[in-house]
Amino acid sequence: MKIPRLFSNAETKFKRTFHFFNLLKSIKDEYDYIWIDVGPSTDIKVDNAMVAADYFIITQETKTYSFEGSIDIIQVYLQTLIDDFVEYFKGEVLGLLPFLLQHKRDLHEEIIKSTKETFGENFTFDTIVSNQKRLEDYPEYGISVVDYHDRKIFALFADVFCEIEERIELFEASGDIPEDYRYRPKYLNGNKLTPFSRNLDLSAYESKGDE
């Protein structure tokens, strides 16, 4: 990217914000995907990640403050980046991914409904990451053996990835996500494993003991 000729303060801001973008240029063609995970903040590190990304996924916990945060991210934060960098800001929002949903909780269901009404059903992921004790334990205890419950979790995230790919393909083909778009689960249909998920090779994730 050629840095535009700007007044000194604006040029300094541009260089600082697009520093990570320029670092990625030398390696991005070596990968199918580069995932950038950022925390819930709006500092210069996050700015660097946002301007470097082709697409964004906004993860939204099913709590009121998280829903309000999603509104701020899209209507305020992203719009500020667009206003500041105009044609140099290329990213698109793939959608909002709800997570930690506890079924049969009225508040959570209401937040999902409000999310769809505010951003559109087509921009709300159909795959929802539900709250599971096994998932909460992974960071601390790892995976000791892949059983039925673990396979369900891997199937869930396989569907998340497939939905991401479908959404990217729609953007690449038409520049938007059609209003009638709905993702059809391939790995976890409701609470049931599909043949695809039963055939997943998960041996690489199993603990090898003290080896």
Q: Is residue 173 situated within a structural domain?
A: yes
The pLDDT, as a whole number, for residue 64 is 79
Q: Is residue 21 situated within a structural domain?
A: no
Q: 110-154: per-residue pLDDT in tens?
A: 888 889 999 999 999 999 888 777 777 777 777 767 788 888 888
Domain count, the chain: 1
Q: Is residue 5 situated within a structural domain?
A: no
Q: Which residues contact 185 (CB under 8 A, 6 or more apart)?
A: 126, 127, 159, 194
The pTM of this model reads 0.84
- Does the pLDDT of residue 157 top 60, yes or no? yes
Q: Is residue 184 situated within a structural domain?
A: yes
* CATH number of the domain to which 79 belongs: 3.40.50.300
Q: What percent of the chain has pLDDT over 90?
A: 50
User: What would the mean pLDDT of 70-92 be, rounded to a whole number?
Assistant: 92
Q: Is residue 37 situated within a structural domain?
A: no
Domain that holds residue 154: 54-205
Backbone angles phi, psi at 201, to 5 degrees: -90, 105
CB 21 within 8 A of CB 27: no
Q: Is residue 47 situated within a structural domain?
A: no
Q: Is residue 127 situated within a structural domain?
A: yes
Q: Is residue 6 situated within a structural domain?
A: no
Interatomic CA distance for residues 190 and 159, integer angstroms: 11
